[in-house]
């Protein structure tokens, strides 16, 4: 049988509230972010938790929602601060929503802290909404500027927790469904037994399976998946750079 | 679907989400028949987009238009669809000259005052009653009662609230009064902009002709000599024409470092008032007042629970309250003590982790420049015994350890020693301002 070549156009579901799998522990946080986005909730929220619990996903979902409603939004990935400059925050208070991701990456950097502090003040004057995420609670971030620390505590803070072992297969099947892939329960269990259980790596696996199943015109059965993933000799090495959360 | 919308959809599918969110989403388009103007929020984003994406955008546009694409321009600016209820800044609107095609941020009532920060919503307690009384008086008699008023205190204790309250009261008494509130850092930014655009005379005129100028966090003037000089002249002009000046800082005027002496001494010409961290009763009253403003029912046992556990500052207190209210709203459950404990669990775990008896001993020893081992030793000289009593009192106040446990952690002392230390420090804080100050400083260090 001729192998069908996948088209160069791949379907990449963008981060939205609909594609966020909150599990039992993160529903309140997701609700609060959604409320802030729709203008019914707080004007400022802080989200914290370890990597891969969905902070970036929620921030980008909020941006996406307002952007498609023709509102102005800004998303600043502070983890990439070495390529950016604090001047990047100038004037952002005129946006309807500003999202600062990975705050810990600039904690202790005087120029960035000062710029974020100014942004807080300007946002308050301008009435814009602010969503900040970091890997620790505000009190534990090594911030040098006490004024910034106090402003960061000025709204509700939500801890995003990892999904439980029981929730992971459901989350994985949901992720597949958003890619319009049908992932049987036993295949999901198979993947979770053999590959790293973080959502980022799992997104990468799904992307690979998406391509191979399309090319081979096969369903995602356990035998097919086993065969398709044989090329990935070292499962842990298959970590795509695309952010899933 | 507009051309730009099609272009955005294409970019979203082509670029990694991080790049798309960071560089494409903040762009706002103003589309005309033969031109698309993209507005970037600042110079940094503008340059980045020009260097990395503009060719790709132009290529997509050409593809959509079959070879006759509209002219593509990128400039700094913002469209009118900013945050709702946005209040423009006082001066910057008239000096940002480079947002062609975008709606200018014009401004006729440049106060920046937040109406919800007034005296009715300011909860009075022992920690702020002098500051509040002086502020009331100034609000009613600006320019004559005390000039300048200098409010100092730790972060998140209500300095900004009080400043807005004075400004609002001045305007309530005299609606034509020109009251301008701004953060010192904004004063600096606006001055730099005015210099860049050759509008410094307008800037000077603007600030030297107001009836009340309220500048928050003056410690941020530190090291900015040109701004200090301009502010010095503004200060003199307002002072001489008996217009009210209100300043705030996180420390006493003389202790603000990086400021010229002539400014520092002027800051102390009028009245200087302190705001201290609120005591438990005031914290509870603040929580109840905020809940009332948010039209929520807050049982007093819950208010006491939050007030007891969150001691650092009012912002954090408000953050905790909002968290409890939001959770109750989403889940539809009533606010009970157990509900509040559950809602604040992560917050309190994080706090408990920070404040341990060992941490208190270490912080107190460093503060008084003695050794931690001295605190645990049998030494009874006052230079050791007093810090030890303070450390025991802080351990009682900030941790949930019992008196015997605290005594044990201080070199195996009896629980009655801890009790005595607590009473002794409470008494000394009333009598000796230095001990009161040491205690407050340590409390702030340990809880912020």
DSSP B76-101: E---S--STTPPPPSSGGGT----TT
Residue B354, SS3? helix
B354: chain A residues, CB-CB within 8 Å: 139-140
Maximum average pLDDT range among B95-99, B364-368, B439-443? B364-368
- Which carries the bigger pLDDT value, residue B251 or residue B150? B150
pLDDT at B233 over 90: yes
Q: What is the pLDDT of residue B168?
A: 95
- CB atoms under 10 Å from CB of B381, counted, come to 8
- Ordered strands of the A73-77 beta sheet: A73-77, A97-101, A129-134, A44-48, A157-159
What are the residue ranges spanned by the domains of chain A?
Answer: 17-159, 167-228
Q: Which residues pair with B76 in a beta bridge?
A: B40
Closest residue by Cα to residue A206 from A40, A52, A60, A10: A10
Mean pLDDT of A211-238: 75
How far A66 CA sits from the closest chain B CA (Å)?
A: 10
Residue of A nearest to B345 (CA): A159
Q: What average pLDDT is seen over chain B?
A: 86
Q: What is the pLDDT of residue B311?
A: 79
Structure tokens at B132: 């509040």
A35: chain B residues, CB-CB within 8 Å: 326, 330
- Ordered strands of the B28-31 beta sheet: B28-31, B35-40, B71-76
Phi, psi angles (nearest 5°) of residue B433:
-60, -30
Q: Among A200-204, A239-243, B166-170, where is mean pLDDT lowest?
A: A239-243
A200: chain B residues, CB-CB within 8 Å: none
B322: chain A residues, CB-CB within 8 Å: 42, 155-156
Q: What is the pLDDT of residue B84?
A: 40
Percentage of chain A exceeding pLDDT 90? 39
Contact of B288 with B298, CB cutoff 8 Å:
yes
Q: What is the distance between the alpha carbons of residues A138 and A134, in angstroms, rounded to a whole number?
A: 8
Fold for the domain defined by A17-159: Rossmann fold (3.40.50)
Phi, psi angles (nearest 5°) of residue B142:
-65, 145
Between positions 390 and 429 of B, the ones with CB within 8 A of A are none
pLDDT at B108 over 50: no
Q: Would you put residue A117 in left (φ > 0), alpha (ψ -120 to 50) or beta?
A: alpha
- Ordered strands of the B212-216 beta sheet: B179-183, B212-216, B244-249, B149-153, B271-275
Structure tokens at B368: 């008084």
Mean pLDDT of A142-160: 88
pLDDT at A155 over 50: yes
The DSSP line for B124-193 is P-TTTHHHHHHHHHHHHSTTTSSSSEEEEESTTSSHHHHHHHHHHHHHHH-TT--EEEEEHHHHHHHHHH
Q: What is the distance between the alpha carbons of residues A104 and A241, in angstroms, rounded to a whole number?
A: 20
Q: What is the pLDDT of residue A160?
A: 93
How confident is the model over A47-61, as pLDDT tens digits?
999 888 899 999 999
Q: Tell me the CATH architecture of domain A167-228.
A: Orthogonal Bundle (1.10)
Between positions 114 and 143 of A, the ones with CB within 8 A of B are 114, 117-118, 121-122, 124-129, 136-137, 139-140
Contact of A72 with B26, CB cutoff 8 Å:
yes
Q: In which band, very low, low, confident or very high, does the pLDDT at B448 lie, cut at 50, 70 and 90?
A: low
Mean pLDDT of B364-381: 90
Q: In which band, very low, low, confident or very high, does the pLDDT at B321 lie, cut at 50, 70 and 90?
A: very high
How far B72 CA sits from the closest chain A CA (Å)?
A: 20
Closest residue by Cα to residue A215 from A3, A10, A12: A3
Instruction: State the virtual CA torsion across B279, B283, B289, B295 in degrees, nearest 10.
Output: -170
Residue of B nearest to A32 (CA): B326
pLDDT at A70 over 50: yes
pLDDT at B98 over 50: no
Q: What is the distance between the alpha carbons of residues A134 and A148, in angstroms, rounded to a whole number?
A: 14
Structure tokens at B303: 């208010």
Q: What is the pLDDT of residue A12?
A: 53
Q: Among A235-244, B93-102, B226-235, where is mean pLDDT lowest?
A: B93-102
Select the residue of A91, A157, A243 nearest B78 (Cβ to Cβ).
A91
pLDDT at B236 over 90: yes
In this complex, is the C-beta atom of B330 within 8 Å of any C-beta atom belonging to chain A? yes
Percentage of chain B exceeding pLDDT 70? 91
DSSP letter assigned to residue B398: H
Contact of B276 with B127, CB cutoff 8 Å:
yes
Instruction: Provide the pairing of β-strand B71-76 with B149-153.
Output: unpaired
Per DSSP (E only), the strands in B209-277 are 212-216, 244-249, 271-275
Residue of A nearest to B181 (CA): A125
- Which carries the bigger pLDDT value, residue A59 or residue A4? A59
pLDDT at B81 over 50: no
Residue to mutate among B41, B218, B345, with most A CBs inside 10 A, is: B41
B90: chain A residues, CB-CB within 8 Å: none
Q: What is the pLDDT of residue B247?
A: 96
Question: Residue B358 burial by CB count (10 A; 0-12/13-18/19+): exposed, middle or buried?
Answer: exposed
Q: What is the pLDDT of residue B391?
A: 96
Q: What is the pLDDT of residue A147?
A: 85
Q: What is the distance between the alpha carbons of residues A106 and A120, in angstroms, rounded to a whole number?
A: 15
The answer to whether B155 contacts A149, with C-beta atoms less than 8 Å apart, is yes
pLDDT at B174 over 50: yes
At residue A196's C-alpha, the angle toward residues A195 and A200, to 5°, is 115
Closest residue by Cα to residue A137 from A96, A177, A107: A107
Q: In which band, very low, low, confident or very high, does the pLDDT at A128 lie, cut at 50, 70 and 90?
A: very high
Q: What is the sign, positive or negative, of the torsion defined by CA atoms of B47, B53, B56, B59?
A: negative
How far A104 CA sits from the closest chain B CA (Å)?
A: 16
pLDDT at A19 over 80: yes
Q: In which band, very low, low, confident or very high, does the pLDDT at B99 lie, cut at 50, 70 and 90?
A: very low
Between positions 10 and 39 of A, the ones with CB within 8 A of B are 12, 14-15, 28, 31-32, 35, 39
Structure tokens at B378: 């049998």
């Amino acid at each position: 049988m001729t192998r069908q070549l996948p088209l160069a156009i791949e379907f990449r579901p963008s981060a939205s509230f609909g594609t966020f799998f909150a599990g039992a522990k993160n529903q309140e946080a997701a609700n609060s972010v959604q409320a802030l986005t729709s203008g019914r909730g707080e004007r400022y929220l802080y989200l914290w938790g370890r990597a891969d619990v969905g902070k970036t996903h929620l921030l980008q979902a909020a941006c996406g929602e307002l952007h498609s409603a023709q509102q102005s939004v800004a998303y600043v990935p502070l983890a990439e601060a070495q390529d950016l400059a604090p001047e990047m925050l100038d004037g952002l208070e005129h946006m309807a929503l500003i999202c600062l991701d990975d705050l810990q990456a600039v904690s202790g950097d005087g120029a960035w802290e000062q710029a974020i502090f100014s942004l807080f003040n300007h946002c308050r004057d301008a009435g814009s909404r602010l969503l900040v995420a970091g890997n620790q609670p505000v009190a534990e971030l090594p911030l040098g500027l006490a004024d910034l620390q106090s402003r960061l505590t000025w709204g509700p803070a939500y801890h995003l927790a990892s999904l439980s072992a029981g929730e992971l297969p459901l989350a994985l099947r949901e992720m597949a469904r958003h890619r319009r892939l049908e992932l049987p329960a036993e295949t999901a269990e198979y993947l979770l037994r053999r590959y790293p259980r973080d959502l980022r790596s799992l997104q990468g696996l799904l992307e690979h399976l998406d391509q191979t199943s399309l090319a081979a015109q096969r369903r995602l059965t356990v035998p097919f998946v086993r065969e398709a993933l044989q090329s990935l000799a070292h499962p842990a090495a298959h970590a795509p750079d695309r952010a899933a959360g | 679907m507009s051309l730009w919308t099609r272009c955005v959809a294409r970019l979203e599918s082509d670029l990694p989400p991080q790049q798309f969110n960071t560089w494409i989403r903040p762009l706002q388009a103003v589309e005309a028949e033969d031109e698309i103007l993209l507005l970037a929020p600042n110079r940094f984003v503008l340059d980045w987009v020009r260097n990395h994406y503009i060719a790709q955008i132009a290529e997509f546009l050409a593809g959509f238009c079959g070879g006759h694409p509209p002219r593509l321009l990128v400039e700094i600016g913002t469209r009118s669809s900013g945050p709702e209820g946005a209040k423009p800044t006082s001066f910057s609107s008239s000096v940002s000259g480079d947002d062609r095609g975008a709606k200018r941020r014009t401004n006729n009532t440049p106060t920046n005052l937040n109406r919800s920060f007034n005296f009715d919503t300011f909860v009075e307690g022992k920690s702020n009653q002098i500051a509040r009384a002086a502020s009331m008086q100034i609000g009613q008699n600006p320019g004559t009662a005390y000039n300048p008023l200098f409010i100092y205190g730790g972060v998140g204790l209500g300095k900004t609230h009080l400043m807005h309250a004075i400004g609002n009261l001045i305007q309530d008494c005299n609606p034509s009064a020109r009251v301008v509130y701004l953060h010192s850092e904004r004063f600096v930014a606006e001055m730099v902009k005015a210099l860049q655009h050759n509008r410094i005379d307008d800037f000077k005129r603007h600030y030297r002709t107001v009836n009340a100028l309220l500048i928050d966090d003056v410690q941020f003037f530190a090291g900015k000599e040109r701004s200090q000089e301009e502010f010095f002249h503004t200060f003199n002009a307002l002072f001489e024409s008996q217009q009210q000046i209100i300043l705030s800082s996180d420390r006493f005027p003389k202790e603000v470092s990086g400021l010229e002496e002539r400014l520092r001494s002027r800051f102390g010409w009028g009245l200087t008032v302190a705001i201290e961290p609120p005591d438990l009763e005031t914290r509870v009253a603040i929580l109840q007042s905020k809940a009332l403003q948010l039209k929520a029912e807050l049982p007093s046992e819950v208010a006491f629970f939050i007030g007891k556990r969150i001691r650092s500052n009012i912002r954090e207190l408000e953050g905790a309250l909002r968290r409890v209210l939001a959770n109750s709203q989403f889940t539809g459950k009533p606010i009970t003590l157990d509900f509040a404990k559950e809602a604040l669990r992560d917050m309190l775990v994080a706090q408990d982790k920070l404040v341990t008896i060992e941490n208190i001993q270490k912080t107190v020893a460093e503060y008084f420049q003695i050794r931690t081992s001295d605190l645990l030793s049998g030494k009874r000289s006052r230079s050791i015994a007093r810090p030890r009593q303070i450390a025991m009192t802080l351990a009682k106040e900030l941790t949930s350890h019992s008196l015997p446990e605290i005594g044990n952690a201080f070199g195996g002392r009896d629980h009655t020693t801890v009790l005595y230390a607590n009473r002794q420090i409470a008494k000394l804080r009333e009598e000796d301002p230095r001990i009161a100050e040491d205690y407050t400083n340590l409390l702030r260090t340990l809880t912020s």
